[in-house]
Structure 1
Amino acid sequence: MLTAHYFTPTADIRRLTEIAEIKAAFDSGQGLLWVDISEITPADSTLLQEQFHFHHLAVEDCVSKKTHTAKIDDFEKYLFIIVNGIAMTQDEDVFEPEQLALFLGQNFVVSAHHPPFHCIDYVNSMVQRDGRPMKRGSDYLAHAIFDTLTDDILPVIDVLDKKAGDLEEHTISIAPVPTALQDILQLKHSSGQLHRTLIPQREVLNRLSRGEFSLISKDIRIFFRDIYDHVVQIEDLNLTLRDNFDNALSLYMSAVANRQNETMRVLSIVATIFMPLTLIAGIYGMNFENMPELKWRWGYFGVLALMMICVIIVLLWYRSQGWITWGKKKKIITPNSQHTQSERAKSR
């Protein structure tokens, strides 16, 4: 779908619907033309190449459904810029980059993308309301699009931060949630995807802000620098989240290992208790004719009593070593309870 707005030399905003009108505004070299192509198709490449005379390699990058790394190419009369937004999939733990391509000239901006972008819709609404983003030139219009695109990444950071808090609760629980490991690995992947998206994008914004291109006026460079600073801040937050996910993974593995150790400890205690019982049963299970205890009237009950005594001795020894405990639990005194007890002592 093609949408075109034209800021005329007389400071009027017109919406163009005919290709001939768009071509005339593009060739006039006056005013500012913004053409947005949503859900771009190979058929749109004809318009970009034959009507706007853009380089065929840049047009191929626009039409391709493959997401390219953020970059900027200087074609003298215009800049070709690719930036990436972050789209949330049906699975809230998975984020995928979405490509936005931009041709930036002295009197035109042509944006092309496959999925709809909130930043395009937002700037479009501003243009229709008062035309403000287009009144300061093509470079400021590009800034408005990139600025909104960057702000739209912040909700992704918020989602990752909330997930990190939930994972911390799951990993430090007595019984780790079975799906926690999969969640941690998925969030680490999403955080890594965000990192790989932001790093080249940060370099693109840095180049736009340092006066490398004549199409970016001196007054507008500071705005691109502001976006660059925002991207750096987002990347710092993302790195902190990546550390949190690494810590959550370590905590989860430690919790699983501790639980396995506890299970092995219980099994070892049970096996050790039955060792003397097995020995006694084995001795009296031997088929010897001369075993006086077998003819004793109370022999059966005596062997059971001996087994019980062995169990009690083993349990008492375990308790003396601190391997098992029983009885009343020690009362845990919290700061509030200490405060209450001190007040009671003073009242006495």
Structure 2
Amino acid sequence: MLKQFATKKANGFDWVDITDPQHDEIHDTAKKYHLHEALLEDSLQSDHLPKYESMETYVFIIFRIHTEAKIREADTVQQLTHKVAIFYSEDFVVTIHRKAHKFLDGLAEDVAKGKCTSSFHLLNNIVKGCLTTYDIPSNELLRGLEYYEDQIFLKKRNVPLLKGLYFLKRKTDLLRRMLILSYDIVDNIDAEKGDVNTRDTRDLYVRMQNIFDALSENTNHLLNIYFNVSSQRTNETVRILTVFSVFFMPLTFIVGIYGMNFEFMPELHHHLGYPAVLALMAVITIAIYFWFRRKGWL
């Protein structure tokens, strides 16, 4: 679906927005604004990573924004992000994307009200809107990180956390990588033509980058702590089982000796043999208990 949100006559520049692009729409637009075929192919690739490419008369940008879909176990670029392709020059802006996005509709209203004074101003607002889509996911990832910290450090029940930690780590690392790859876009926008608006965009980018850097680092640390805590709990269980086995080893040995039932075994026919063996087993058990207490193992 092709929409023209701005015209050169009314706004000083053209803004053509193409949602779910069709062959005729793409090529008619490319012919009108002299867009390169190879860049059109890039704009249609659903898994293309962020890029900034400067041509003779225009600039081509691919930005990946965070998806609005809530997929709990998403861990790929296509599941977590959507692509927005932007062709920019002083005379026009062409945006191409497969799905409709709310922030673009909001920018269209701003253009209609005359709030975007130039194509560069519009480009900066589009990039800023793309960055803003990472704000809510960062808060959700932070809440997820706090939940797993609470489960690991404060809860004693055994909850399966490894799968959830894996997806938390994958989401954080993938979104962090998308932001890192988008650095050239923000850096080139806030360059020679930079102003207060582009500085705000750079500040937003730096804030998002710092948040995801911290999230990635904390998630990796939490994952290591989880393995250490799991190992500690396993060691504690093995220690308890070892203590029980030490108590029963001498008792099992005595029972094994007196359970052979040979006819001429000592004390086999003694009328106090049975209580004497029980008393011996009790003494051994008590002795082992106090020995363990003395060593600090209990």
TM-score norm. by structure 2 comes to 0.91
Structure 2 counterparts to residues 167-316 of structure 1, below 5 A: 167-172=148-153, 173-178=155-160, 180-211=161-192, 218=193, 220-316=194-290
**What is the CA-CA distance between 1:154 and the residue it aligns to?**
0.9
In 2, the alpha carbon distance for the partners of 1:152 and 1:265 equals: 50
Residue in 2 that maps onto 1:72: 52
Larger of the two Rg values belongs to structure: 1
Paired AA for residue 233 in structure 1: R
Residue in 1 that maps onto 2:138: 157
Q: Matched residue of 1:58: which SS?
A: helix
Q: 1:267-309 deviations in whole A, cap 9, x for unaligned?
A: 1111111111112112212344322311111211221222122
In 2, the alpha carbon distance for the partners of 1:294 and 1:181 equals: 57
Q: Matched residue of 2:80: which SS?
A: strand
Paired AA for residue 115 in structure 2: R
Structure 2 counterparts to residues 28-67 of structure 1, below 5 A: 31-65=12-46, 67=47
In 2, the alpha carbon distance for the partners of 1:89 and 1:6 equals: 29
Cα pair 1:205 1:225 within 8 Å, conserved: no
In 2, the alpha carbon distance for the partners of 1:59 and 1:276 equals: 81
Task: State yes or no: 1:87 paired with 2:61.
Answer: no
Q: 1:88-144 deviations in whole A, cap 9, x for unaligned?
A: 54324636221111111222111101122232122123234x1212xx111001111
Q: 85, 107, 111: which is aligned to 1:127?
A: 111
Residue in 1 that maps onto 2:5: 5
Q: 1:61-108 deviations in whole A, cap 9, x for unaligned?
A: 12222x222222222222111111111543246362211111112221
Matched residue count: 293
- Greater relative contact order structure (CA < 8 Å, 6+ sep): 2
In 2, the alpha carbon distance for the partners of 1:317 and 1:107 equals: 88
List gaps (5 residues or longer) in structure 2.
none
Tell me whether 163-172 or 308-317 shows the greater mean CA deviation.
308-317
In 2, the alpha carbon distance for the partners of 1:138 and 1:37 equals: 17
Paired AA for residue 239 in structure 2: R
In 1, the alpha carbon distance for the partners of 2:53 and 2:297 equals: 69
Q: Matched residue of 2:60: which SS?
A: strand
Paired AA for residue 124 in structure 1: A
Paired AA for residue 86 in structure 1: H
Tell me whether 160-169 or 104-113 shows the greater mean CA deviation.
104-113
In 2, the alpha carbon distance for the partners of 1:88 and 1:187 equals: 17
Tell me whether 310-319 or 161-170 shows the greater mean CA deviation.
310-319
List gaps (5 residues or longer) in structure 1.
14-30, 212-217, 325-348
In 2, the alpha carbon distance for the partners of 1:145 and 1:301 equals: 89
Cα pair 2:6 2:111 within 8 Å, conserved: no
Q: Matched residue of 2:43: which SS?
A: helix
Q: 1:249 to 1:51 in 2, by over 3 A?
A: same
In 2, the alpha carbon distance for the partners of 1:52 and 1:142 equals: 17
The CA RMSD over aligned residues, in Å, is 1.9
**What is the CA-CA distance between 1:257 and the residue it aligns to?**
0.9
Paired AA for residue 253 in structure 2: L
Residue in 2 that maps onto 1:137: 118
